[in-house]
Chain A
């Protein structure tokens, strides 16, 4: 029982990070049909911005969080204006956009390598402070930070998507871009808001990943595989699905360590993915095709 609770806490922590990354990835795909391979490196950048503020400049962690959010959101917007919008206007298809995003991922990662070197970094948080609520159950300060921050933000995003006009417009664009456009929804503005949201969530996920483990130029890239799995698990292009998919995946990976070697936990994530796809090809929350 205690082992179950401990692995659940671990799973919620990594699942929350997956979920934060997956929502942005899924929204961008749903709206722009862009499979953004650079999303993982957005996260890495968020981590390094936090490192620069928190460790290099010695400012509090909260400031580091905000800086990462702002910088990555700004990057998202800048890339939209400089690259994605002109590419779409020229009629680029899914394949061209995908290849471009892979190239972009390498560029961002190497710029990070250039600026901060490949050394393993960590943020200035107490790694060892922990509580024992009861028995052998352990929850670390870091896990509290990750779960609480991600929890608050994820609930906020879900409410935003469900009930605000901007959130509804995002879902409308993801449902049918053309139709939203003829209805007079200012698609250009909503697309920019989507990048702001996806970028800030990626930045936040990157900082949390850096807090939770350590930071290298590959942090985001390695997380991206699990995040893709979370997106597919939840139903591609469905933001709520991505949220739940991320958490389910995190839990499944950690629970598996009760039975098998922890080294294989990422593989377990993909076994879950394959099983779900066999039973529900449209993902947990995806709809069967409608006319």
Chain B
């Protein structure tokens, strides 16, 4: 994406941020509160329509594209404040996200029952496998509203992965998750990255996670990218330290 801009009333939330995410990388997006990280996610996934700029994903121009189309192209996100379809079962939450379901179209649903039934069986199996992978398969038939905060995070991840993404955007995946579970999530993501070539972009405030598991770090402040590079490079970059701690006293 390049030179993205969006303004809410008088507030310039994202002011010309430009960055790219290397395919197959695990990239962390950091920055102080209000830097525009979540807004950048919203713009990339079509949740907010940017005022100007460009977003490209895997050769497709997705600037101001509809969220469901972006999701079907293979870019999927999770939310900072976890969202689940609370009045539906856990398994239905995951199954809805599966791509290529003939039952979604009225004509197929009515006139090609065999096709959608066959696909539904496959989808159910995949969804169960994913739930097992994140460790909540025994809650498959419970309503999502009954899950604990941490379990909802896992459900969100399973839902996101069900879309068979090539790029996942995770908004603070570690927040509110106990450290053991957090480590398991990271390990699982890294395995998916190795096995399927999944690209991961995540917003995180926990610097141990950021420095320990990402291979590239992008730092935003006041709506723009102020530094990027290896974790080591960003950690020692004086502009990043400035942004977090306020301006360093300059030699007058």
Residues on A lying within 8 angstroms of B by beta carbon are 164-166, 168-169, 171-172, 175-176, 178-190, 193, 287, 290-291
Q: Are B116 and A165 in contact, CB atoms less than 8 angstroms apart?
A: yes
Give the chain A neighbours of B101 by CB distance below 8 A: 165
| Binary contact readout B103-114 vs A (1 if CB under 8 angstroms, 0 otherwise) | 111100100000
Q: Compute how far the CA of A146 lies from the CA of B126 in the bound complex, rounded to whole angstroms.
A: 44
Q: Compute how far the CA of A168 lies from the CA of B103 in the bound complex, rounded to whole angstroms.
A: 10
Give the chain A neighbours of B104 by CB distance below 8 A: 165-166, 169, 185-186, 189-190
Considering only residues 59-81 of chain B, those with a C-beta below 8 Å from chain A are 66-68, 71-72, 76-77, 79
Q: Which of B76, B99, B149 sits near A182, CB closer than 8 Å? A: B76
Q: Which of A184, A190, A291 sits near B72, CB closer than 8 Å? A: A184
Give the chain B neighbours of A164 by CB distance below 8 A: 103, 109
Residues on B lying within 8 angstroms of A by beta carbon are 45, 47, 66-68, 71-72, 76-77, 79, 83-88, 92, 96-97, 99, 101, 103-106, 109, 116, 120, 145, 149, 159, 162-163
Give the chain A neighbours of B99 by CB distance below 8 A: 184
Instruction: Please give me the residue from chain A that is nearest to B104 by CB atom.
Output: A165
Q: Are B96 and A175 in contact, CB atoms less than 8 angstroms apart?
A: no
- What are 15 A-B contacts with C-beta separation under 8 Å? A172-B92, A175-B85, A175-B87, A175-B88, A176-B83, A179-B84, A182-B76, A182-B77, A184-B99, A185-B68, A185-B97, A189-B104, A287-B87, A287-B145, A290-B145
Q: Compute how far the CA of A181 lies from the CA of B47 in the bound complex, rounded to whole angstroms.
A: 9
Q: Compute how far the CA of A111 lies from the CA of B197 in the bound complex, rounded to whole angstroms.
A: 60
Q: Compute how far the CA of A69 lies from the CA of B120 in the bound complex, rounded to whole angstroms.
A: 30
User: What is the minimal beta-carbon distance from A86 to any residue of chain B, in angstroms?
Assistant: 14
Q: Compute how far the CA of A89 lies from the CA of B76 in the bound complex, rounded to whole angstroms.
A: 22
Q: Are A184 and B97 in contact, CB atoms less than 8 angstroms apart?
A: yes
Give the chain A neighbours of B85 by CB distance below 8 A: 171-172, 175-176, 179-180
Q: Knowing that A176-B83, A290-B86, A290-B145 touch, tell me 9 more A-B residue pairs with CB under 8 angstroms.
A: A168-B92, A171-B88, A176-B84, A180-B85, A183-B71, A184-B71, A185-B97, A186-B68, A187-B68
Q: Which of B47, B96, B116 sits near A180, CB closer than 8 Å? A: B96
Give the chain B neighbours of A190 by CB distance below 8 A: 104
Give the chain B neighbours of A185 by CB distance below 8 A: 68, 96-97, 104
Instruction: Please give me the residue from chain A that is nearest to B100 by CB atom.
Output: A184
Q: Compute how far the CA of A164 lies from the CA of B95 in the bound complex, rounded to whole angstroms.
A: 12
Q: Are B45 and A171 in contact, CB atoms less than 8 angstroms apart?
A: no
A193/B88 contact (C-beta < 8 A), A184-B76, A186-B68 known: no
